[in-house]
Structures are given as structure tokens and as C-alpha cells.
Structure 1
Amino acid sequence: MTDLVLQEAWHLRNYEALMQITLMLKDKPLSSVMHMEIAKDAWDALNRHYEGVGKQTITYLISDLFQGMLSNKIALENQLNAMLQKNQILASLGLILDESLIAVAMLISLLPSYGTLRTILMTQDRKLDTEKVINEVLTEEKCQKEGTSESVLLVRAGKGVKSPDKKDKKKKKKCTHCGYTGHTVDECCKLKASQSEAATKADNKDKSSEGKESAKVTSVHEVGFETLCLFLAKELLCNDALLHCWIIDSSASSHMSSHHEWFLHYRPLAALKQVYLGNEHHVLAQGIGQVIISASLEDSSINTGIIQNVLYIPDLNSNLLSVA
């Protein structure tokens, strides 16, 4: 094969390569290579062009990821997915970020109304990942839209939450003790409270030497870690009738529950907290979090709410709502 034939073959391949490059370009990058005759020169020019644009893109994406603020006018799921897409673009440009950094970026971009959720997730011991953050944020978004987040008040549930079957079932229930609908006598908190009070009075008569066992102010003993005061009678430690009820206590220093499965968001305490009862006994609080509560009203409707900063105390046979 002569040199002339080889040269013609090279020109043909060069022409085809140059055509492939120029046909794939938009107007702006095309203007920088349209007058070039050699495909390699055009390719090198494009590399220089996009290298500069790539650095600018990286700067923009990093700034947007860690300084941007999410909006409540757009679905959070779309905005969080957009953050994941920006991370993928950064990876394609050669900058690979740890997933936990993207998870942190998501948390710091949340609105102030998500402050409690941000604190809970940021203080967890295990490494953050984007999937968990997205799931928790979307759950919180749903709660806020339903009006059940960041509140200890019971709020009316929205229409369509209950199915007709459940509604009919609730209406059929009627307590033979208090006369209210929505529960039966074996579920009646009023009956359980009166039974507990009667048992307490009988016990006090048999143990008059021990003095009155009602709630009283206790002293906090010096211990090696933080203690809490709870003004409550010792009956809460032994009365199973109150295990599934909530008691409103104006003397309780914190909300408390013994049901770990009730917690919507939960984190263990770094150090166990001693909670002293009125009889100078103490129990240990192991964690803290949010608990969903519900209540049946006279019209058979169900109200729900979220209680913040509830202590988890396994040995407490009751659930307390502090109104102190």
C-alpha cells in the first residue's frame, strides 16, 4: 500500500471523526471547533473547554448542596432526589463525596420546623445514610401536613383516615361503667383509675405506720450522673391496670412511658438518668423520643397527636403526660 493510499485513508477517517464531533455539539462549544480541520485538535479544544466548565459546575453544585435551603412549596421528595442527582453529577466530574456528607447536607438544608428531627438524626450513634434521612423526612413532612407534628395537643384527624368498618365498630362500643362510647368496660381508664385509688386507700389502712403514700416532693440525692425528680406515688411501680393508659400529672417533670414500641423516633441516652418517685425509690430512664398518642371522643372520632421528649423508662408501669 502506497503512502498516497494511506494518506487518503487517514484523511477519510479524520473527516468522519470530525463530523461525529461537530454533529454532537451545541452552538456554544461548536463555535470553538468549527474551523478546525483535524479531529484531534478539535477533541483537545473540547477537553480544555469542558475542563473549565467542569470546575465551575463542581463549585456551583457543592455550594448548592451545602448552602441551599429546601422549600415547603415543593414536595420534599423531589427536592431530596434532586440533591442525590447533583451528587451523581459530581461523581461523574471526578468528585466522589461520602454518602454521610450528602445525608448531612440534606439535614442542614431542612426548614426550622424540622429542627427536632434534625437533632435526633444528627445525635444518633450510627453513620447517617441518605435513604434513612429521606424516609424520616418524608414521614415528618406527612405528619406536619396532617397537623400532628411538634405538638402535645390532641388534634382532630382528617377526613378519610378511618374506614367505614372501623368507624362502625367504634360506634358499637359503649362502656357500661362511664357510659361513653368508643371503648368497653375492660378498656375504661376511669374505672381503672378508681380501682387503683380504692386499692391505694385499702393498702394505706393496713400500713398506717408507713404514712400516706400519695405523691410528695422528694429530695435529689447526689449521684455520679444527672438525676430527675418525679412527684408520683409508688403505686405506679406495681399497678398493671395503668400500664396502657396515659395519666396527666401536673407534678411530673417529664413525659414518660414504659412502651418502647410506642416511640415514633427514639434515641438512647448517653448516660442513664435516675428518676426518683415519691416513695424515694428510683427508676432508670434509658432513652428519649417522640410518641404518638390517640384518644376516643364522645362522638366516636379519634384524635391523634405526637408527644415530644418522652423518656423511656422500662420499669415504670404507667405512662405520664407532664403539664408542669
Structure 2
Amino acid sequence: MVSLDSTNYSIWKIRIEDYLWSKDLLDPILYKERPTGVDEKAWTTLNRKAIASIRQYVSLSVLQHVANETNAFEMWKKLKSMYERNNAMGKASLIRKLVKLQYKDGDSIVVHMNEFQSVVNQLAGMKMKLEDELQALLLLSSLPDSWDTLVVSLSNSAPDGKMTMEMVKASLLNEEARRKESGYPSQAEANMWKKLESMYERNNAMGKASLIRKLVKLQYKDGDSIVVHMNEFQGVVNQLAGMKMKLEDELQALLLLSSLPDSWDTLVVSLSNSAPDGKMTMEMVKASLLNEEARRKESGYPSQAEANVIPESSRGRSKSRNPHHRDKSKGRSKSRKRNFICHYCQKPGHIERFCRKKKRDMSRERKDKNENSEQKPEEKNTTALASSDDDLFVIGDHGLLNVACNDCTWVIDSGASYHITSHREYFSSYTSGDFGHVRMGNDGSPKIIGMGDVCLETSTGCRLVLRDVRHVPDIRLSLISAGLLDDEGYANNFCDGRWKLSKGTLIMARGKKQNSLYVMQARTIEDCEKKQANPSPCITVDPVPSLPPVVVPQDHGGDMHDHTVESHADDHHDDGGDGVPESQPH
């Protein structure tokens, strides 16, 4: 049983009348005075029961108006005068409500028809009864445009051109069931989608500017997954496409390359030079990035993240310590190290126990003793490699071995900031002075005591001039910076364990991968300026003697001597046929 409030009088009236009738309490609201033949005491009891039943089913707000009533007839009359709008204004209000009543897709059609019928019933209670056909037409007019097919079908199939409420209600219920079974998209779902779009889809200029800003500032960090980076990049591009702003494929490729750090410059330059018709594509760039990441993982290429971790872990101290205390202790440690003098190599900064030169010399002595006592004839042309945390030892026979620290082997380093060598005799021009220090991954910082140019004759017969080479006596490897070669217009190509340096169609130098390093054999030219006056050696294809491996025998005094053995290269041309251009030798 519903309780009476200011909105449901028409429904409540029907329900309460039925209830009073079932309890034989209807007479007190129909007759003001006691009917003839009814006992006064019985009438008083009947009247009181009717009042109690009516008050039981009214809301608290309505109860205040009838709380003091003692006559059921008067109370019923009062409620009727308060809530039954039998005047013209009440009828106009209900007709207006009936006409404006609209069904929305996704709502229950049963609820809609109940609401429609409630208004019709209220009008009937005001002595205004609508014809059945008019009710059917008004109910159909309350449907949205998505139901037009049903409306037309009913209009054409109505017998004698006259619709009935029974026919319309049955058709609406059947159509609702059909749509639910077929998964028909409702108008409510469409409205919800539009609302979500308006709330979260930033289709304005500010939204586009924000996404472009995010795309430009997106930067890849060494050590992260390149797949995750490309997914994040593509996600921003897709958002821009959803805002009707589609970036061209070439622009996407260039923006993706611009998000790479400096350590990837070699790949960027290589892609730029090899792009067909000078136009890059996203497919080409993505494939190259994935291949480069796989190559770096296989070769153990040190990532930027690993480089950042090494200094902290090697010291074994947490960043949470007092920074002032750490700086002071670090300074005291460095000052104490400077006061130490090695009694073996006579160099400052360490003691004999930790002298690397002593370790290398002792290793060579053990090697020579083992070779002299145990070497067999069939073991002559052999090579062995041993490594430790601090030193690298390479042992081999004459004519077969190239040691990374000799005078004709250079390591190609894509992470080096400039060319470096420890050999003073390599320089064709040289300037002494204090040029700072070199920062190394093991916290070392050897001093740069000079700088100049080094002129090399490569295995292809071309001359390669290295400008502003740093002279660092304490470094063990001669390094060529791939980044500086890129800046000078050379193209570096690292592929399948081989390195190739080219300029245009001219192959300037070749190298190959040994362990995890790319090395190049080259011969130093003492008088570089004189050689430069005659450029023909740079483009000759005559067989050039290959750079001899350096043999490092040890005499009885423990000194190292460099000896060279000449041999000839069979081929200096690229596999693709774009070899070194021919010219007549001078």
C-alpha cells in the first residue's frame, strides 16, 4: 500500500477505496450522517476505524493536516479538496504532462507505459476521459526517432485505419524484447558515450597543444625497453589522430628518432644516410631500433642506467647519508691517495700492492716461463685470452695476434667524447699542456698532457686524419670516437661483428669485433702534411699491405718491443659492390 503525498493522489485514492471496501469501512466516507437502521455505537466504531485506516496510509507531511479530524467523511473531503485538482488548471497541467512525456532508449518500456496510464487515469478522475484511439496515438508520439520503423508499421497495419491501446502496448513490449535479444544499441548508451567524450576527449586547441608538448618532450633513456618507449610514443600519436590531427609518417619517424639519447647518434646518422630518396618511414625506424636494442644486449653494450649505478654501488654508500660528511670523507680519501708513491712504478696515487704495472709484468713473466717450458710444436699458432676485474691479458704467437694496447690497433668507441691515445709517437702535430682530465667508469681520472693530430693509413689504403687527439699516458687503449667521426661527415656502420667507415661511396676504413670491442688496424704516418699534398693514396685500390699484427715478445730485461710482419689484403671492397673508387696510383 502506498502512502499519500502531494504527487500520487490519483493512485492512492483508488488503492485506499479498495482497501476500505475490503474491510467494510467505505460507508463512513460516503455518508456524512449515520444511515437509518444503523446503531449509533456501531456507527461511531465504524467511523473511528475508517479514520485510523486512512491515517495509516498518508505521509507525515499530509498527516499534519488531518491529525485532529474526528469524522471520516470530513477528513476524506478535506484530502480531496487539497489534492484532487478538478479545475481547468489541473486538467491543463495533466494534459501538458501527457504531451511532454517522452520515452528514452534504454529505459523500461513497461515503466513508461505505466507513467502514461497514470496520467490518463488522473484525467479520468477529473471526469475527462480520453478515447482509446487518442490514447494510442499519444503513446506512439512519446517514442523517440529510433522507433519510427515500428510507428510506420503499426500505422499501415491498423485495421480500418484505427489504432487501439491494446495493439500499441503489445507491439511496444515485443519490440523491446527483440532489441534486447539482438543487442541493439540504445539511445541511452549513445548519450552516455557522447557525455564521456565531452568530459574526457580534449578536442580543443589546448588539448592538441598539450599532446604535442608531451610528444616533443618524450625522451628515451638507455637501459629502458625500446618497445615500451615506442608504445608510449604511438599512444600519443593515436590520441592526436583521435582529435582529427594526423601526423605524416615521415614526421612521426623523425620525432621518434629525436627522442633518442646521444648514445644512439650513430644509428640516427646511419638511418639518415640510408633512407631511400631521403625519406624515412616509421616501419624502417621501428625495425632499426629493435635490431639495435637486440645488438646492444648481445654485445653487452653498457647502458646509461648501468653507468649511473656503477659509481654508487662501487663506493658502497647510500645517498641518504649526510652529504657534507660524505664530501669531506671523500676529499680526505683523495688527498691521502695523492700522498702515496708506488715503489714499483714510482707513480703517485697508489701503493705497490695495487700497482697494475706490477701485475702486468708478473703476468708476462709467468706466461713466458710457461711457454718456454711447456710449448709443443703443434701449439705454436694459438691464441689465449684471460681477463680479471682490473686487467686484460692477450697472449698469442707471432704474426697472428693484435693487442689492443699496441701501436697499430684502435678501438672504435661510440661512447667516447673524443679521440684518445697513450702513444706520443703517433702524433704528426702535437701541443703540450694541461688539458684537464679524462673521466673513466672506474672513478679514475688520468691527466691529459697533450693534444694534436694523428694521421692513419687504414687497411683500405685510405688516409684518415684524427683531429684534436688527446694524449693520455695512463690509458691502456687507443680510442676513436664514433661520434666525432659522425660530426665530420663519416658514416659508421656496425653490423654482423664488423665495422665500416665510409664517406659517400668511399670506404675509408674497416674493423671487426673482438670480444665486445670493435677494433681497427691502422698504420701511423709521421709526415701527414706531406702525404696530404698528394691525395692519391686515399682512393687507390692497389693491394695495400694489411696492417701487421703486433707481436709482444719479452726479452730478458722485461721490456716490450714492437715488431711488424707484412702481409697483403685480398679485398678492400664492400660486399654490396660499392667498393673504393679506382684511380691510378702515383
* Shared fold (TM-score, shorter chain, > 0.5): no
Q: Highest CA radius of gyration, 1 or 2?
A: 2
TM-score normalised by L of structure 2: 0.27
**Structure showing the higher strand proportion among its residues:** 1
Q: TM-score, normalised by structure 1?
A: 0.44
Higher relative contact order (CA 8 A, sep 6+): 1
